Chain A
Amino acid sequence: MTTLTVPSAPETRSARDAGAGDRSATRPGSKATRRGNAAAGIVAWVVALLFFFPVLWMVLTSLHSEPDAAGNPPKLFAPLTLDGYRTFFGSASGASPWPPLINSAEASVVSTLLVLCLAIPAAYALAVKPVRRWTDVMFFFLSTKMLPVVAGLLPLYIIAKQIGALDTMWYLIVLYTAMNLPIAVWMMRSFLAEVPPALFEAASLDGAGIVRTLRSVVVPIASPGIAATALICFIFSWNELLLANTLTSTVAQTAPVFLTSFVTSQGLFLAKVSAAATVISLPVLIAGFAAQDKLVQGLSLGAVK
């Protein structure tokens, strides 16, 4: 029963490809197909550039002087300067960006680890050895994401005030963990559902307990999925603004909150904000590149289907 699932995935994929081929009603290698491929390639490039353009524009703006950055029509070939970056690193006000960056890293990394620690066993219980009414459990997880964060903001603030958790890192970490846990469980469940159950049966026949199974079977096999889940949790926590903006002030301020402090109602700020945004995006970019191989495997494995 279980051996069937493994080859089934490639089969469905090739079946789908064949279907697409049928629809275009051409033989492989024909002129029309080549033209179609070229068109698809161009469309892919255009879409990619379209998505990349705002990022490119942000980097370019960050390298311009403030008046050039605010110029209308935009000044593409204005002289480049690093002033925006100097301001970000505190040349104007002496405020260092490091404490907020470190806070962001701490909140993102710790909350992501906690999420994985909780989501993998939960997903195991939902995918490999489904608990009773596991679909209801999945829906319950999802339903926690249905309330807009802003609707819970005031209670969260008041609770934080009452327990003395305002402006503390641990409160943010707990919130980020709670915020990402449902997504992580959903993602991990679909990854684990792809793992051939025969492997678990084999592990159990060999006498592996649940911890051993998780450690020696689930984690190695699902590592692309874990990487994808971790990256997404990391990105969500790293970029979170609403909670951090409301619940932190001087001690636990995170990088996105620090970024907004460059916006001013008196004077120009586009270049400064672009420089800050560029620097703050870097860790996510680096994490993305580092995990690229695993990510491509992971994302094509389950979640996105």
Chain B
Amino acid sequence: MRRTSLALAAGCAAALALTTSACGAGGGGGGGGGSDSINVLMVNNPQMLALQKHVGEFEKKTGIKVHFTVKPENDMRNQAAQDFQNQSGQFDVATLSNFEIPIYAKKGWLWSLDDIDAYKKDTSFDQSDIFPSMTKALSSDDKLYGEPFYGESSFLMYRKDVLAKAGVTMPEHPTWDQVAAAAAKVDGAEKGMKGICLRGLAGWGENVAPFTTVVNTFGGTWFDKDWNAQVDAQPFKDAATFYTNLVKEHGEAGAAQAGFAECLTALTQSKVAMWYDATSAAGSLEAPDSPVKGKIGYAQAPVKETDASGWLYTWAWAIQKKSSKQDDAWKFISWASGKDYLKTVGESDGWSTVPAGARESLYKNADYLKAAGPFADATLTALEAADPDDPGTQPRPAPGIQFVDVPEFTDLGTSFGQDLSAVIAGQKSVDAALAAGQKAATAVGKKYQGS
């Protein structure tokens, strides 16, 4: 009896070993793929899906096979953080933003492009054509760690027809006071139309992004150069009072829950007359099936004490330090962020869909200007004016315009964003929100003051 049960157990164990080793052989190890292949982790945005469609051309040209893993933004961030932090080496290349790249670079998780032979020998890429603000945002200690795939700044979008009817002229470089006055004037210009859409949805990448640009231009900052929290200082308070009052008085319906997508819908459906947000929104507003196509005017991000206040954001390619295929990885980046790729997409999918905001030469391309005419100039001006190292009126301890480039900012920003959202919803006072923000920011600052 005992012997038979032992035999049974052994049989099961053998079956387990057999099946698993068989599967293992088919599966391949971590970091998989052959010598002529690279693994790329990327965020699921339309520009990346188009890239996936065109990648065959790259594979044919170079003989390098590209395996993509595509994930929604938050999942992608998590997986990239996990893979790069552990240096697991599953991915050779990942899309990272200008928030992550300087942080990852400092931790030693990324290949500096300057150390890659294929980058040094690449004569066709033309680094000087990449917006200098982007190159700066993707560098750390004067070394370059990523190349932008596409990028954006922020600007003001407004209904030309509605403003004209109300007798408001929007200058090319408006001030926040002018914008607030205009919002009051056009509020209710059409049935159900509010003055302006500003993000209220909580999150460091949601309401805190446009709000921080307002803080910058009001003369405020999250931290002074010695990491002292400045959230309860007067300029920050003025900015918070201004932003929340403007939204409460003339902002979109349901403002506390409105993010990028909600504001885009609101402007498209004539529920608001103006919107301050990412330059990348313009592509959707001017799309062939958009009901407001041709009716939108574009002005620079409103200012108060600075000359410009637009933010800077990019999805960029970076190479994991653990990867031993850095040369092949660079060839892929050089193709994806290269000039020829813009042409490929423009000619096959339409110029309005090309990944814009990375290369200056695109803004001299007649085909692109024809498709993106209404907003190309304003985008170019905004991208050229953005300076991640000096976005406000005082020196900063870390780079970043709409964020402070330290890992703690995601938590700090999101908890403050929730309070800001509560102020907009009328559940909290500005003072209470700032007091909580100051406390959280002080804790973050203390961590860096020691170092």
Q: Which residues of A contact B (CB under 8 A)?
A: 92-95, 106, 110, 113-114, 117-118, 121, 125, 157-158, 160-161, 164-170, 173-174, 177, 209-211, 214, 245-246, 249-253, 260-267
Contact = CB atoms under 8 A, between A and B. Distances in A.
Nearest to B259: A265
Q: Is the interface of B mostly helix, strand, loop or mixed?
A: helix
Contacts of A160: 30
Contact of A170 (B8, B21, B67, B82): B21
Given A121-B12, A261-B71, A161 B86 contact: yes
B27 A167 contact: yes
Contacts of B71: 260-261
Contacts of A264: 44-46, 72-73
Contacts of B26: 169
28 contacts: A93-B50, A113-B19, A114-B15, A121-B9, A121-B12, A161-B88, A164-B30, A166-B29, A167-B30, A168-B28, A168-B29, A168-B30, A169-B26, A169-B27, A170-B19, A174-B20, A210-B8, A211-B4, A211-B7, A214-B8, A249-B90, A249-B91, A250-B90, A251-B28, A251-B33, A252-B27, A261-B69, A261-B70
Contact of A209 (B1, B70, B86, B90): B1
A173 B19 contact: yes
Interface residues of B, number: 50
A75 to B, nearest CB: 15
B5 interface: yes
Given A158-B86, A170-B27, A114 B19 contact: yes
Given A94-B53, A117-B15, 15 more contacts: A106-B23, A121-B8, A166-B29, A167-B30, A168-B23, A169-B24, A170-B27, A174-B20, A210-B1, A249-B39, A249-B41, A250-B69, A262-B44, A265-B72, A266-B46
Contact of B52 (A93, A164, A245, A263): A93
A251 B352 CA distance: 34
Nearest to A117: B12
A158 B70 CA distance: 23
A93 B9 CA distance: 47
Contact of B44 (A113, A157, A261): A261
A92 B41 CA distance: 18
Interface string B28-60: 111111000001010111100110110110000
Contacts of B242: none
Contacts of A211: 4, 7-8
Looking at B1, B19, B39, B86, the one whose CB has the most chain A CB atoms below 10 A away is B19
B16 interface: yes
Contacts of A267: 45-46
B117 interface: no
Contact of B39 (A161, A250, A263, A266): A250
